[in-house]
């Protein structure tokens, strides 16, 4: 007898309750603490209100669903379904995946938590994949294994409009934020697998868009076997018109109409602030239970140097516990300054 399987995710996928009902997906709202008040994304905190309070200087802290809340959620679902496939945000960006695993351990193997290492539009794509595979007759365990085997078949590049929120969240030092403000640079970040990392910098909005399109073009060509093998996305934080215009540029560049536009989840917006704009892709060629041949090129891919930021070394770690990046040219090792900055 075929088992009934529920697909669940969190609001970091960009799927809110209305779309979830249409898709047949169950959504766990992500909690935030805004000026001491606990709010739930898509319940009593929408994007417009979030950005209003963020711009006004509200103290916003990300949180995660509690063990009690998840336990109640699984109990409700398991009354109606035999099994649950749960796709939370990347374990490298939040502890919510680990918490879900702890709760699932007490569900007699009926709840499968997928460490898909994605967020936003690529996490949404994983949810759609799960729905399709289960609809094709795959079991919950098979679907979970497929999602985890394809977790790196996606990329997101993200331009940040201001470095103030990266500084506020502790991802860069005050010095790096000051340098960025003076030089008016636009950091380009990458979400790949477990981490949100620095990728490059640009001197203008147009230059940042060119950097992101060039980087994704390389991914599409070398990792995904061409544009026919991917779905493309444009994501943003409170930048609707620019996002739609950028999507048109992406469609023209790649020669495809398959470009989905959505807002970035509030968990990312907490760190990058309003005005961020990104581009992403996820593989659409997923064979059952096997690795894809065009992923061999990934081993030769290298991240370009970031001239204004460098990783915090192990020696400096005790002094910079909350920071992962420092200005280039400072501290141990003193990496060479960019050619344009040398005197």
Q: DSSP for 12-62, please give it.
A: GGS--HHHHHHHT-EEEPPEEEETTEEEEBTTTB-HHHHHHHHHTT--EEE
What pLDDT shows up at residue 220?
Answer: 93
Strand boundaries in 207-297, DSSP class E: 230-236, 259-263, 277-283
pLDDT in tens, 83-94: 999 999 988 778
CATH topology of domain 5-30+65-149: Rossmann fold (3.40.50)
Distance in angstroms (rounded) separating the CA atoms of residues 100 and 108: 14
For 154-300, CATH number?
3.30.1180.10
In this predicted model, which residue has the larger pLDDT, 284 or 228? Answer: 228
Q: Which residue has the higher pLDDT, 312 or 200?
A: 200
Minimum mean pLDDT range among 29-43, 122-136, 192-206, 243-257:
192-206
**How many CA within 13 A on the CB side of residue 313?**
11
Q: What's residue 182's pLDDT?
A: 52
Q: Where are the domains of the chain?
A: 5-30+65-149, 154-300
Average pLDDT along the chain: 81
pLDDT in the model for residue 261: 96
What confidence score (pLDDT) does residue 341 get? 37
Least confident range of 11-15, 149-153, 217-221: 149-153
Residue 144, SS3 per DSSP:
helix
- The predicted structure's pLDDT at residue 183: 58
Tens of pLDDT, residue by residue over 298-332, are: 333 333 333 444 455 554 444 444 445 544 444 54
Whether 235 has a pLDDT exceeding 90, the answer reads: yes
Taking residues 55-62, report their average pLDDT: 90
pLDDT value at 205 more than 60: yes
Q: What percent of the chain has pLDDT over 90?
A: 55
- Tell me the pLDDT tens digit for each residue of 326-343: 444 445 444 433 333 333
pTM (two decimals): 0.78
Among candidate residues 94, 20, 142, the one with its CA nearest the CA of residue 7: 20
Parallel/antiparallel/unpaired status of strands 186-192 and 154-159:
antiparallel
């Amino acid at each position: 007898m075929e088992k009934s399987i529920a697909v669940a995710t969190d609001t970091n996928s960009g799927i809110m309750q209305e779309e979830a009902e249409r898709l047949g997906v169950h959504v766990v709202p992500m909690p935030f603490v805004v000026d001491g008040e606990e709010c739930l994304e898509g319940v009593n905190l929408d994007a417009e209100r979030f950005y209003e309070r963020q711009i006004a200087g509200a103290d916003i802290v990300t949180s995660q669903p509690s063990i009690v809340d998840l336990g109640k959620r699984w109990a409700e679902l398991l009354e109606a379904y035999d099994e649950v496939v749960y796709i939370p945000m990347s374990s490298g960006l939040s502890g919510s995946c680990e918490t879900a695993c702890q709760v699932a351990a007490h569900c007699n193997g009926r709840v499968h938590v997928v460490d898909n290492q994605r967020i936003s539009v690529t996490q949404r794509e994983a949810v759609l994949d799960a729905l399709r595979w289960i609809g094709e007759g795959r079991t919950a365990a098979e679907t979970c294994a497929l999602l985890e085997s394809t977790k790196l078949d996606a990329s997101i590049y993200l331009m940040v409009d201001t470095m103030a929120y990266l500084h506020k969240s502790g991802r860069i030092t005050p010095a790096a934020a000051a340098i960025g403000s003076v030089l008016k640079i636009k950091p380009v970040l990458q979400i790949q697998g477990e981490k949100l990392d620095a990728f490059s910098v640009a001197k203008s909005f147009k230059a940042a868009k060119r950097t992101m399109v060039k980087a994704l073009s390389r991914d599409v060509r070398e990792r995904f076997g061409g544009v026919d093998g991917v779905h493309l996305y444009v994501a943003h934080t409170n930048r609707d018109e620019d996002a739609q215009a950028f999507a048109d540029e992406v469609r023209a560049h790649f020669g495809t109409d398959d470009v989905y536009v959505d807002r970035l989840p509030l968990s990312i917006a907490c760190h990058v602030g309003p005005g961020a704009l990104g581009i992403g892709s996820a593989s659409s060629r997923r064979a059952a239970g096997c690795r894809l041949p065009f992923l061999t090129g990934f081993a030769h891919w290298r991240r370009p140097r970031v001239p204004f930021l460098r990783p915090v070394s192990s020696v400096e770690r005790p002094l910079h516990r909350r920071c992962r990046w420092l200005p280039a040219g400072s501290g141990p090792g003193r990496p060479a300054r960019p050619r344009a900055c040398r005197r």
